[in-house]
Structure 1
Amino acid sequence: MVNLGLTSTINPTLVNDIRVAYLRVSGTLGQPLGGTGAGTIASLGFTTPFGAAGGLAPIVPSYEGVPVVALKRANFGATNSTIRQANNTIQFIDNVTKTYGTHSFQFGVDYHYDQINERNTSCPNGCFTFNGKETGSDFADLLIGAPSAFSQAGLTQLNSRSNYLGIYAQDGWRALPTLTINYGLRWDVSQPWYDTKNMLSTFVPGQQSQVFPNAPKGMVFPGDPGIPNTIAQTRYNNFAPRIGIAYAPASGKYSVRAGFGIFYSSIQQVSGMNTAGGPPFNVYYGSPVPPSLATPYIDRFSGNSEGVKFPAPLPPSNVSASNPDYIDFGPFEQISGSYGIYPGNGLPSLENYELSLQRSFGSSTVASLSYVGTSGRHLMTSIESNPGNQALCVFLSDPNNVAPGTATCSQNGEDQQYIKKDGTVVNGTRTVFGSLDLGSNPLMKAAAGSSYNSLQASLNHRDKYGNFLLSYTWSKSIDNSSDVFDSTNPYNPAQSRALSYHDVPHNFVASYTVQLPFDKLASGKFAKPFSAGWSISGITSLTSGEVVQIQESYDDNALTGAYNAPVDTPSYAN
C-alpha cells in the first residue's frame, strides 16, 4: 500500500487535505497438492476420462485428488474450490474545510477505481452429495453409490472493474452556545461491476440474445438491447441527506442528540463473481437427474447420458453484438445453477436514525439512554428466476390429464417433459421461459429489506481508583435476506421476512479497571517502581443466543423447484 498526502493551511480559516493511494492485495487459497497413486480419480474406481461413457476427470490436473463427498454431518475430499485473486485499488480524496463565523463548512470528493482479477475453480474433481434419499441413510447411500446430487465446474476467469465517485458538502453550525446543528448532502455514483471481456450473462424473459443468437431465449449478455456491460444501469440519482442536532443546556448536566441520514452502499463484487464464468464462458454443471457415482454424467435409473460437458467449447473473448459468435449451446443445456444479475437493480441503501439523552452525575459518571434504528432498502438477495408453475404441476399430476402410460408431475419434476391427454407436449412446468433449455437459475436482485430497532443504555464512571463501563442493548433485527446468498420467496419476497440470522435481542457488556494500592503498602524509594501502577481489568459479556435456522433442503413440496427451496419453509407452531 502506498498513501501520499498533503495537508495545506491556505489561511487561518481554510485548510485543504489531499490524498492519493494505491492498494494491492494478492493471494491463493484452497490449492491442494496433486494426488498420485491411490489419490488419482481413476485409481479410486471412477470411469475416466470425460466422454460418452459419463466418466469423470479433473478440471485442472495439478489439483487432482479425491472428489468432495458431502454427507449430512460430514464431508471429505481434496478441495471443493480454489481461488487465485489479485485486487488493485487506486484512490483520490480531497477535503476542504472552511470556517466562517459560527459555521464550519466541509466539501470533498472521493474517487476510486477498483480491479478484481480471479482464476477460480469449483468442485474441480467433482462434488457428490448424499442425503439419504435412496435408503434413508446418507452413509448407506454412499456405500451403494447413490448420490442425490453431483456438480462440477470449469475454470472461471474473472476480470472485474468498477468506478466510484462520491461528492459531499456539509456544515457544522453553532447556532447557539448550547445548540449545534450539522447538516449535509452526499452524492454517490457507484458503478456496478463489469468484466473487461464481457464474460457475464443474465436472464430476461422473452428476450432473444443478439450477441449469441442461438442462446436459449431469455438468456442475454452485455451488448444485447438494454443490457450494458455492467448488466444493471449505473444510477445517478443517489442523493444522501443527513442531519444531526446536539443540545446541551448551560448547566452542563445533560445533553440531547438526534440524527437522521441516508447512506448508499456499493453492490458487492460477489454478485459479479457468481455471474461470471457462466455459459458459454464456462460450465457449471449440476446434475438434473439422479447421478451414478462411478459415472456421474449418467442417469442412475435410465442409463441415459447427460452429454459431454467437459472440455467445454468456449467462445473467444470480447464477443459483442457487432460480432456475434454462433457457438453451439447444446453442450451447456440444460442451463441450471447459473447466477444472473437483475438488470433493474439499484444501489442498496440504509436509513439511520437516533435519539439519545446523556446525563452526568457529579464529575465522574455519565449515563446515556438512546434509541437507534436502521431501515435497509434494496438489499441484495438471491431469487429464483424460473420457478415452477404449481398449478400446472398439480394438473399434470392427475393421470387422467396426461396421455396413457406417460409421466405425471410430482416433486422435482419441473424439468421433465409431459404429454397432455390431447397430445400437447409440455416442456416442464417452468413457464417463465417456456422451454427445457433453462432450469433453475437464481438472480442477484436488490429486492430485500431490513429493519433494526434498539434501546441502548450505558453507564460510564472514571476516577483515580478505577473505572467501569456498563452497556446494555435490547434490540430486534428483521429482514427477508440476511446476506446476498439468502434466497427469498420468488412469488412474494415479503413472505420470507423473519428474524435476521444475526438477531441478538439482549446484549450486556461490562468493562472495568481497578487500581491496586500496592504503592501504599510499599512506597519506599526502591520499592515504589515495582509496587506502583498495578491494576486489575476485565470484560464480561452476556448475550442472548443466536437465531435457530430451520430449513427444508431435500424436498419440493411446493412444486416450484426454486433455488435453495425458499418456498418449502418449515412451519413452526407452539
Structure 2
Amino acid sequence: MGHDDIGSLSRWPLNQLRAGYQYSDAANWTFGSHNLSLGGDLRQQYTDQSQTFQTDASLTFNGTFTKNSLADFLVGRMSKITQQSYNGGKPAATTPDLFAEDDWKISPRLTLNLGLRWEPFVPLHDRLDRVSQYRAGQQSTALPNAPIGYVFPGDAGVPSNTYPGRWGVLAPRVGFALDVFGYGLTSLRGGFGIYNASIRSQALNNLSTNLPMRTRWLLARPLVVSQIRIAI
C-alpha cells in the first residue's frame, strides 16, 4: 500500500435540478427562385443546487505516521481532515436568437443556401448572488471585509452576473448543391458556418464554493481523535 492515499468521505446528498426550455417559431415565404425562412427562439436554462455532500468530514490516510497508508488507517492516524459547509446556488439565463435563411435556386443545376443567425452571448447570473469576481484594486462595499480586488454583485460596476454579455454576435452560414453533369446522377455539396455554444448553468457551481458563500476547514496531521477497532 505504501504512501498511496486512502480515505473516507460521503458523496450524498448532491441535489441539482437542471432544466431548459426553448420556444421557437418560423415563417416561410417562397417567391421566384427563392425560399426564404425567418424565425427565432427564446431559450431558458437554470439550475437549482442544494449540495451538502461535503459537510461530512473527509479523512485521508497516506502513511505519514507508519509509512503505510493502511497501517495509518488501522491505528487511526490520519494525515488530514477536511470539511466544508453547505453549498448552493441558482444560476439562470434567458437567451434570444433570430435567423434568416434563403434557399436560392440560381439555375436548374445550382442551389445556394445563405443564412445569418443572431445569437448573443447572455451571461449566467445567480438568483442568490452567490458569485464573485476579481477586479484589481477595487474594495468591495457589499462585503467590506473582503480582500481588495474581491468583489460581488452590488459593488460598483459589478453586474449580477459579474461579467458582461455580447449582443453583437452574428453567425453566418453558406452552402451549395451542384448537379455536376446535369443528369441528376452526380452531385457536389459543400458548406461553411460559424456556430456558438452556450455555457451550462452548472458552470457557476465553482463560484458558489468560494468564500464567504461557503467555508472550508482543513486540519493537517491532527492528533488521534478517535480509536478504530476492527473485529474479525
For residues 288-324 of structure 1, the C-alpha deviation after alignment (integer angstroms, 9 at most, x for no partner) is: x63427559xxxxxxxxxxxxxxxxxxxxxxxxxxxx
Which position in structure 2 is the counterpart of 1:270? 202
Match of 1:292 among 191, 213, 222: 222
Give the TM-score normalised by the residue count of structure 2: 0.82
Percent identical pairs in the alignment equals: 30
Q: Which has the higher contact order (CA 8 A, sep 6+)?
A: 2
User: 1:125-178: per-residue Cα shift (whole Å, max 9, x none)?
Assistant: 111234446655432443454545432221123122211111111111122222
Match of 1:255 among 187, 203, 214: 187
Report the equivalent of 1:193: 124
How big is the alpha-carbon RMSD for the aligned residues of Structure 1 and Structure 2?
Answer: 2.7
- Structure 2: stretches of 5+ with no match in the other structure: 227-232
Whole-Å separation in 2 of the counterparts to 1:144 and 1:192: 51
Aligned twin of 1:125: 56
Q: Structure 2 vs 1, CA of residues 111 and 295 (structure 1 numbering), >3 Å: closer, same or farther?
A: farther
User: Does the CA-based 8 Å contact 1:80-1:124 persist in structure 2?
Assistant: no
Which residue of structure 2 aligns with residue 279 of structure 1?
211
Q: CA deviation at 1:121?
A: 1.5
- Partners of 2:137 and 2:115 in 1: how far apart? 44
User: Which of the residues 99, 107, 129 maps onto 1:168?
Assistant: 99
Would you say 1:224 and 2:150 are equivalent positions? no
What secondary structure is seen at the aligned counterpart in 1 of 2:220?
Answer: coil
Distance 1:149 1:251 in 2: 76
TM-score (norm 1): 0.36
2:38 corresponds to which of 94, 107, 111: 107
The Cα shift of 1:186 comes to: 0.8
User: Post-superposition shift, 1:208?
Assistant: 1.6
Distance 1:192 1:208 in 2: 24
Distance 2:67 2:189 in 1: 60
Change (3 A) 1:181 1:148: farther
Alignment partners' CA distance in 2, 1:132 and 1:103:
74
The CA deviation string for residues 362-404 of structure 1, in whole angstroms up to 9 with x for no partner, is xxxxxxxxxxxxxxxxxxxxxxxxxxxxxxxxxxxxxxxxxxx
Q: List gaps (5 residues or longer) in structure 1.
A: 1-70, 297-574
Matched residue of 1:157: which SS?
coil
- 2: distance between equivalents of 1:172 and 1:75? 61
Residue number among 207, 211, 219 corresponding to 2:138 in the alignment: 207
Partner-residue secondary structure (3-state), 2:141: coil
Is 2:106–2:112's contact at 8 Å kept on the other side of the alignment? yes
User: Aligned pair in 2 of structure 1 residues 108, 85: CA closer, same or farther (>3 Å)?
Assistant: same
Structure 1 SS opposite 2:105: strand
Q: Flag the 1:142–1:184 CA change in 2: closer, same or farther, 3 A.
A: same
**Distance of aligned partners of 1:133 and 1:252 in 2 relative to their CA distance in 1, 3 Å threshold:** farther
Quote the offset at 1:117 in angstroms: 1.5
**Against the structure 1 CA distance between its residues 143 and 258, is the aligned structure 2 distance closer, same or farther, given a 3 Å change threshold?**
same
**Residues 149, 248 of structure 1: alpha-carbon distance in 2 compared, 3 angstrom cutoff:** farther
Contact 1:211 / 1:221 at 8 angstroms: preserved in 2?
yes
